[in-house]
């Protein structure tokens, strides 16, 4: 069964005729998704087995790993692992270069007992290079560079780059990052799967869920929302898309989705700004704006079953304080009621929204959710007539960064 979207307060019929070549566009979307390497990789069982074997061999006799990468090189794996990890392995992700936090974290680790995973598609990402070069300097000062190199795994494109040069010169285990899959779309490749295997996840189930989604989806399921986004954007009624997740297991899915959406669709002065909110936390900071502010947002609520889960609440104190609505309840019952109440409040206030319900949050359902998000993002980009796969605007900042360092 594929993911189901339950829509509220949307009249799709009035959003139909937004382009003269709609049938051609739908065919283009279908063809693009069919041939997209980031989804075609789901059919490559051999490559998945290689990722599993690499992860298992690299993780032998190790209990703690540091993963260095930025953007899609890190967020995808975190989206999968966060909340789903099945073992006691410690995996620390470093995706920023705040020098104080980085130094404090590294100084408090026993670096002799770690595994290091370095991920950069280009092999020249400045942030990732600076992280690894810092470690090389630390180990060099202790005359232990060989220990670092022997416990490092590099994932990068098979081409000349600073990272491949470092790997080749020092006999570091290196595997190829697909040249046809950008970082934000690399979640189903070795970039996402190797850390997931180390975390004890069943990556075959992740792929199976994603495959079910892409093989059994009627294109209308995501094309109609792409057309809705385009129509509402044209008439200036929609500027932001808010994804509100009601499970801490989806916290980094939200962060991954922000990059996926923003970097794919925000081009040529076009686009819809993605926002991630966390239920129930952000009900106490953002809901006022969402309900009573500008009606320029579309809302997606990703919910799951919380009823009768978690710790039971103390009935004695509940009785003493007349908190009757919590009598005989568990924490999950409150979470369940709040997510239901929030969705119903938006529906009753005539705010366009949808609910994506996950009966369970596991590898299979996460695989489906990730694949659906990619499908919808690419379809929406093509309706906006922008390239889903490049990110030309960020290059200027990279050029200036290097200029300022010289």
Instruction: Over range 336-355, report the average pLDDT.
Output: 97
Beta bridge partners of 278: 245
For residue 253, the tally of other CB atoms under 10 A from its CB is 27
The two tokens of residue 267 are 């081009």
Instruction: Identify the pLDDT of residue 175.
Output: 96
Instruction: Identify the pLDDT of residue 252.
Output: 95
Cα distance between residue 71 and residue 378, in whole Å? 18
For residue 12, pLDDT over 70 is answered with yes
Alpha carbon dihedral 57, 52, 85, 93, in 10-degree steps, equals 70
The two tokens of residue 77 are 């794996």
Cα distance between residue 191 and residue 181, in whole Å? 10
Angle between helices 45-58 and 190-198 (to 10 degrees): 40
The two tokens of residue 235 are 């008439």
CB 67 within 8 A of CB 93: yes
Summarised one tens digit per residue, pLDDT across range 168-203 is 999 999 999 999 999 999 999 999 999 999 999 999
Sorting pLDDT into bands at 50, 70 and 90, what band is 16? low
Any idea where the domains of the chain sit in the sequence? 5-34+207-383, 38-201
Cα–Cα distances in angstroms (integers) from residue 312 to residues 120, 175, 307, 316, in the given order: 46, 48, 11, 12
CB 37 within 8 A of CB 178: yes
Cα–Cα distances in angstroms (integers) from residue 402 to residues 164, 390, 395, in the given order: 20, 21, 11
Cα–Cα distances in angstroms (integers) from residue 341 to residues 250, 260, 267, 403, in the given order: 20, 29, 36, 52
The two tokens of residue 383 are 């309706």
Instruction: Over range 334-346, report the average pLDDT.
Output: 97
Looking at the chain, the whole-number percentage of residues with pLDDT higher than 70 is 97
Summarised one tens digit per residue, pLDDT across range 357-382 is 999 999 999 999 999 999 999 999 99
Cα distance between residue 85 and residue 198, in whole Å? 9
Counts of helices then strands in the chain (DSSP H, E): 17, 10
Q: Are strands 240-245 and 297-304 parallel, antiparallel or unpaired?
A: parallel
Q: Do domains 5-34+207-383 and 38-201 have the same CATH topology?
A: yes
CATH topology of domain 5-34+207-383: Rossmann fold (3.40.50)
Instruction: Identify the pLDDT of residue 11.
Output: 83
For residue 17, pLDDT over 60 is answered with no
Summarised one tens digit per residue, pLDDT across range 31-54 is 999 999 999 999 999 999 999 999
Four-way CATH pick for 38-201: 3.40.50.10490, 3.40.5.10, 3.20.20.150, 1.20.1560.10 = 3.40.50.10490
CB 188 within 8 A of CB 130: no
Instruction: Identify the pLDDT of residue 19.
Output: 56
For residue 220, pLDDT over 80 is answered with no
The two tokens of residue 357 are 């319900």
Instruction: Identify the pLDDT of residue 18.
Output: 56
Summarised one tens digit per residue, pLDDT across range 61-110 is 999 999 999 988 899 999 999 989 989 999 999 999 999 999 999 999 99
Q: Which 3 state secondary structure label does DSSP give 144?
A: coil
Please give the mean pLDDT across all residues of the chain: 93
Instruction: Identify the pLDDT of residue 395.
Output: 82
- Per mean pLDDT, which range of 22-26, 242-246, 274-278 is the poorest? 22-26
Sorting pLDDT into bands at 50, 70 and 90, what band is 263? very high
Angle between helices 363-383 and 203-216 (to 10 degrees): 40
Instruction: Identify the pLDDT of residue 235.
Output: 76
The distance between the two most distant Cα atoms of the chain, rounded to a whole number of Å, is: 71
Instruction: Identify the pLDDT of residue 210.
Output: 96
Instruction: Identify the pLDDT of residue 58.
Output: 97
Summarised one tens digit per residue, pLDDT across range 106-136 is 999 998 889 999 999 999 999 999 999 999 9
Cα distance between residue 230 and residue 384, in whole Å? 6
Instruction: Identify the pLDDT of residue 349.
Output: 97
Summarised one tens digit per residue, pLDDT across range 264-318 is 999 999 999 999 999 999 999 999 999 999 999 999 999 999 999 999 999 999 9
């Amino acid at each position: 069964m594929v993911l189901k979207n339950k829509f509220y307060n949307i009249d799709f019929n009035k959003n139909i005729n937004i382009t003269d070549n709609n049938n051609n566009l739908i065919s283009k979307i279908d063809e693009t998704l069919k041939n997209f390497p980031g989804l075609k990789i789901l059919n490559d069982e051999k490559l998945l087995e290689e990722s599993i074997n690499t992860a298992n061999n690299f993780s032998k006799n190790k209990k703690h790993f540091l993963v260095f990468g930025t953007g899609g090189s890190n967020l995808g794996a975190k989206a999968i692992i966060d909340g789903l990890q099945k073992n006691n392995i410690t995996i620390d992700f470093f995706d920023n270069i705040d020098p104080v936090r980085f130094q404090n974290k590294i100084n408090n680790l026993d670096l002799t007992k770690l595994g290091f995973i370095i991920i950069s598609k280009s092999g020249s990402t400045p942030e990732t290079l600076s992280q690894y070069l810092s470690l090389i300097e630390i180990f060099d000062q202790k005359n232990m560079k060989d220990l670092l190199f022997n416990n490092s795994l590099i994932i990068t494109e098979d081409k000349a780059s600073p990272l491949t040069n470092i790997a080749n010169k020092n006999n570091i285990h290196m595997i190829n990052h697909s040249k046809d899959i950008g970082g934000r779309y690399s979640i189903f490749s070795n970039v996402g799967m190797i850390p997931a295997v180390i975390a004890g996840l069943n990556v075959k189930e992740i792929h199976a869920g994603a495959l079910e989604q892409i093989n059994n989806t009627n294109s209308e399921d995501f094309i109609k929302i792409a057309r809705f986004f385009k129509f509402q954007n044209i008439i200036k009624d929609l500027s932001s898309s808010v994804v509100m997740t009601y499970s801490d297991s989806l916290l980094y899915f939200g962060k991954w989705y922000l990059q996926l959406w923003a970097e794919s669709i925000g081009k040529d002065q076009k686009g819809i700004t993605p926002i991630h909110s966390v239920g129930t936390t952000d009900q106490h900071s953002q809901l006022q704006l969402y309900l009573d502010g500008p009606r320029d947002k579309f809302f997606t609520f990703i919910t799951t079953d919380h009823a009768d889960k978690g710790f039971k609440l103390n009935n004695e104190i509940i009785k003493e304080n007349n908190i009757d609505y919590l009598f005989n309840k568990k924490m999950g019952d409150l979470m369940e009621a709040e997510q239901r109440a929030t969705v119903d409040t938006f529906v009753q206030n005539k705010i366009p929204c949808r609910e994506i319900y996950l009966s369970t949050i596991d590898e299979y359902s996460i695989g489906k959710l990730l694949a659906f998000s990619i499908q919808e993002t690419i379809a929406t980009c093509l309706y906006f007539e922008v390239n889903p796969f490049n990110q030309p605007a960020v290059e200027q900042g990279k050029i200036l960064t290097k200029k300022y360092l010289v």
